[in-house]
Chain A
Amino acid sequence: MSEVAFDGVTKRFGEVTAVDQLTLDIADGEFMVLLGPSGCGKTTALRMIAGLETVTEGTLRIGDRVVNDVEAKDRDIAMVFQSYALYPHMTVARNIESPLVARRFHVDADAPPRKLTAAERSERVDQAARSLGLTDLMGRKPAALSGGQRQRVALARAIVARPSAFLMDEPLSNLDAKLRAQTRIELVELHERLATTFVYVTHDQVEAMTMADRIAVLNEGRLQQVGPPQAVYERPHNLFVARFIGSPPMNTVPGTVVRTDTGVAVQLGGQRIDLDPVAHEPLADGTEVVIGVRPEHLAVDPDGQVKAQVRAVEWLGHERLVVCDLAEHHITVRQSSGAEPVAPGDVLALTADPAHVHLFDPNTTERLN
């Protein structure tokens, strides 16, 4: 068990900066998800923890040890690869045993670490295999396993040595949707059982939202926001996070702040959305903003101030997504499937929940409210 701390860590590949000045503390026992689009630097960050990439600048600590110059094989880290990276020529049992063979372990109290005996290894392998339901597959080779089984073998190989941190690089991306949902729950249970630091890389926000203690959102090598899933969802720090997290994404439309005697509002083309006057006290009249409202925080209301024309309706069974034209922008409204039907061409009057209106600076993209 160890915390992992990035302190101003930069990774450059030639001219390309993959990770830029990353400062991030991952607490001992935390389930941290590094989330971002492909090429955002999340996998590079993970590989630096593993020791598979060197750190160009800054310091990286695991526990109380600076590991910049510690070799990967000496870091006491386990990693589950996207491709699982099982040894194709070894049986399941030998694959799981692999991390136990070369290393020394603290087995005996007050004695220096030593290599495990064959019996000790086999006991640990059996235990790991049992906890992942692999007992019947021990003699098979990876080629004879299904994708889900291979994934479990990779997990068993990761947990068998009881490492100080687990790194996972999109471990669910090769599974079908049903198995992925099931494995998400199992991973959370595994994390609770092991009470060890997990660092998990994904581009899938559902995985991030459902499993993480905290999410670190990265884009173009830079950390955008860190926080618990709900906080990141409810108070995105900038436009990137606002648009990246949430499906369908947050509606974002440029507008101008208007102060009147009655309060504060944002002017969008010829329309207005009222804001909570107390919360938006500091915003000066005429400030250019980007207003963001999530699809579920827009509602059809006969008294609504915003008029938008329905362009398309997507029926998803339990809900409906209504795509509307507002000025030159598309906005999406999420409705329960029991709501009054709408059809393309209808003009809807919409209200935005004032508690859930986000304002961003159009130049810096930072949050304003």
Chain B
Amino acid sequence: MSRRTRDALVGYALLVPSAVIFVWFFFYPLVRLFVMGLHQQNRTGTAERYVGWSRFGDVLTGEQFTEGLRISATYVLYTVPLGLVLGVLLAVAANRRLKGIKVFQTIFSSTIASSVAVASVVFFVLLNPQIGYFSSVKFFSLSDPDTALRGVALSSVWQNLGLTFVIVLAGLQAIPDEVDEAATLDGYGPVRRFFRVTLPLISPTLMFLAVVLVIFALQAFAQADILTQGGPVGATETLVFKIFRSQQPIDQGTGSIMALGLFGITLLVSLAQFLLLERRVHYGN
């Protein structure tokens, strides 16, 4: 056996564990979704028959899916820009050499350690229409179908803020002090320095965060489930929420197809973000 072959064999052997995990937990379920989407179950869920691809078209253009998608897309618009802006503001505020600044950095990043459930319970107490501290604020009232999604979005923004803050802060700290000083000596004040130097130099970080936050938002489920159970009148039924609700023993196809639709959309959105933003993003040397 040549050295080259032996090296290759060792390499593949080392890849086996991760390949097994990938196939078992990712690839196989994906294939199963297709299979379930192509079959219809009987009343007891004990047998299935092939119904074909036409069902994909029906489900993906159906009201359930499009309405869920509309709500999820709105949710993305509510959470991602606000989350990014707040994260950048906090990180810029905390990125200075002051005594005790670590305390603030720790506080600002603390939501990273909270789960969706914790965040939702916190906001449940704040926003609950009966007992909440902010129940009188109409703008994100959970009892009004027009505003309930904003309330849910708020809890997501809060919960993701720690992550955004930590990552943006790391991005800011990677900018050499001299570059900012050079801009000062070139005659730029703090605000212009931010837009001229800081923002372009953290653009790769922001691009990464934008992709991640969009994916998080498209996957939102627990927030809505805990805060509103999808209500009022379905106003906070995100796509994942609808997928979860549609999955029953006698119908495993609809949810599967919707899940595949969400997968495809997430994939496309992420690709589009990379392609569009890539051109505007500066990656340093």
Chain A residues in contact with chain B, CB under 8 A?
Answer: 50-52, 72-75, 77-79, 81-83, 85-89, 98-99, 101-103, 142-143, 157, 161
Known contacts A73-B189, A99-B187: A79-B182 contact under CB 8 Å? yes
Chain A residues, Cβ within 8 Å of B201: 88-89
Query: Is the CB–CB distance between B181 and A85 below 8 Å?
Result: yes
Query: Is the CB–CB distance between A73 and B187 below 8 Å?
Result: yes
Query: Is the CB–CB distance between B179 and A87 below 8 Å?
Result: yes
In the complex formed, the residue of B with least CB distance to A82 is B178
- 1/0 contact string of B177-210 vs chain A (CB within 8 Å): 0110111111111001000110011010000000
B11 on interface, CB distance cutoff 8 Å: no
Known contacts A88-B201, A102-B192, A142-B285: A83-B184 contact under CB 8 Å? no
Query: Is the CB–CB distance between A72 and B285 below 8 Å?
Result: no
Query: Is the CB–CB distance between B183 and A98 below 8 Å?
Result: yes
10 contacts between A and B (CB under 8 A): A50-B185, A72-B181, A73-B184, A79-B181, A81-B181, A87-B182, A88-B285, A99-B185, A99-B186, A157-B182
Q: A72-B185, A89-B201, A99-B186 are in contact. List 17 more A-B contacts (CB 8 A).
A: A72-B181, A73-B186, A79-B181, A79-B185, A81-B178, A85-B176, A85-B178, A86-B179, A88-B201, A88-B284, A88-B285, A89-B200, A101-B186, A102-B186, A102-B188, A103-B186, A143-B285
B282 on interface, CB distance cutoff 8 Å: yes
Known contacts A52-B181, A88-B284, A89-B200: A73-B188 contact under CB 8 Å? yes
In the complex formed, the residue of A with least CB distance to B193 is A73
Query: Is the CB–CB distance between B176 and A83 below 8 Å?
Result: yes
- 1/0 contact string of B255-285 vs chain A (CB within 8 Å): 0000000000000000000000000001011
Chain A residues, Cβ within 8 Å of B184: 51-52, 72-73
Q: Which of B36-76 contact A (CB under 8 A)?
A: none
Query: Is the CB–CB distance between B185 and A88 below 8 Å?
Result: no
Q: How far is the CB of A163 from chain B (nearest CB, A)?
A: 9
- Which 10 A-B pairs give the minimum distances between C-beta atoms? A143-B285, A89-B282, A85-B178, A102-B187, A85-B182, A103-B187, A99-B186, A89-B200, A81-B178, A88-B284
Q: How far is the CB of B199 from chain A (nearest CB, A)?
A: 10
Q: How far is the CB of B56 from chain A (nearest CB, A)?
A: 44
Q: How far is the CB of B97 from chain A (nearest CB, A)?
A: 11
Could you tell me the dominant secondary structure of chain B's interface residues? helix
Q: How far is the CB of B109 from chain A (nearest CB, A)?
A: 27
Q: How far is the CB of A160 from chain B (nearest CB, A)?
A: 10
Cβ contact of B186, chosen from A52, A88, A98, A142, cutoff 8 A: A98
Residue among A77, A79, A87, A99 with max Cβ neighbours from chain B (10 Å):
A87
Chain A residues, Cβ within 8 Å of B196: 87
Query: Is the CB–CB distance between A81 and B182 below 8 Å?
Result: yes
Q: How far is the CA of A101 from the CA of B183 in the complex (A)?
A: 11
The size class of the interface chain B forms with chain A is 20 to 34
Chain B residues, Cβ within 8 Å of A103: 186-187
Query: Is the CB–CB distance between A143 and B284 below 8 Å?
Result: yes
Q: How far is the CB of A77 from chain B (nearest CB, A)?
A: 6
Residue among A77, A86, A102 with max Cβ neighbours from chain B (10 Å):
A102
Q: Which of B141-199 contact A (CB under 8 A)?
A: 176, 178-179, 181-189, 192, 196-197
Query: Is the CB–CB distance between A88 and B192 below 8 Å?
Result: no
Q: How far is the CA of A86 from the CA of B178 in the complex (A)?
A: 9
Q: How far is the CB of A120 from chain B (nearest CB, A)?
A: 16
Q: How far is the CB of A133 from chain B (nearest CB, A)?
A: 21
In the complex formed, the residue of B with least CB distance to A89 is B282
Q: How far is the CB of B198 from chain A (nearest CB, A)?
A: 11
Q: How far is the CA of A103 from the CA of B183 in the complex (A)?
A: 12
Chain B residues, Cβ within 8 Å of A52: 181, 184-185
Chain A residues, Cβ within 8 Å of B178: 81-83, 85
Residue among B185, B196, B197 with max Cβ neighbours from chain A (10 Å):
B185
Q: How far is the CA of A21 from the CA of B196 in the complex (A)?
A: 37
Q: How far is the CA of A103 from the CA of B181 in the complex (A)?
A: 16
Chain B residues, Cβ within 8 Å of A82: 178
Known contacts A102-B192, A143-B284: A87-B185 contact under CB 8 Å? no
Q: How far is the CB of B62 from chain A (nearest CB, A)?
A: 46
Q: How far is the CA of A116 from the CA of B164 in the complex (A)?
A: 39
Q: How far is the CA of A78 from the CA of B186 in the complex (A)?
A: 7
In the complex formed, the residue of B with least CB distance to A78 is B185
Chain A residues, Cβ within 8 Å of B197: 87
Chain B residues, Cβ within 8 Å of A89: 200-201, 203, 282, 284
Q: How far is the CB of A66 from chain B (nearest CB, A)?
A: 19
Chain B residues, Cβ within 8 Å of A98: 182-183, 186
Q: How far is the CA of A144 from the CA of B209 in the complex (A)?
A: 27
In the complex formed, the residue of B with least CB distance to A102 is B187
Q: How far is the CA of A142 from the CA of B282 in the complex (A)?
A: 12
Q: How far is the CB of B120 from chain A (nearest CB, A)?
A: 39
Q: How far is the CA of A161 from the CA of B182 in the complex (A)?
A: 13
In the complex formed, the residue of B with least CB distance to A163 is B185
Q: How far is the CA of A337 from the CA of B179 in the complex (A)?
A: 48
Q: How far is the CA of A72 from the CA of B182 in the complex (A)?
A: 10
Q: How far is the CA of A89 from the CA of B186 in the complex (A)?
A: 16
Q: How far is the CA of A267 from the CA of B187 in the complex (A)?
A: 61
Q: How far is the CA of A157 from the CA of B181 in the complex (A)?
A: 14
Query: Is the CB–CB distance between B179 and A85 below 8 Å?
Result: yes
Q: How far is the CA of A73 from the CA of B183 in the complex (A)?
A: 8
In the complex formed, the residue of B with least CB distance to A77 is B185
In the complex formed, the residue of A with least CB distance to B188 is A102
Q: How far is the CB of B202 from chain A (nearest CB, A)?
A: 11
Residue among B176, B184, B187, B192 with max Cβ neighbours from chain A (10 Å):
B187
In the complex formed, the residue of A with least CB distance to B200 is A89
Q: Which of B85-134 contact A (CB under 8 A)?
A: none
Chain A residues, Cβ within 8 Å of B181: 50, 52, 72, 79, 81, 85
In the complex formed, the residue of B with least CB distance to A143 is B285
Q: How far is the CA of A86 from the CA of B285 in the complex (A)?
A: 12
Residue among A73, A77, A81, A83 with max Cβ neighbours from chain B (10 Å):
A73
Q: How far is the CB of A334 from chain B (nearest CB, A)?
A: 40
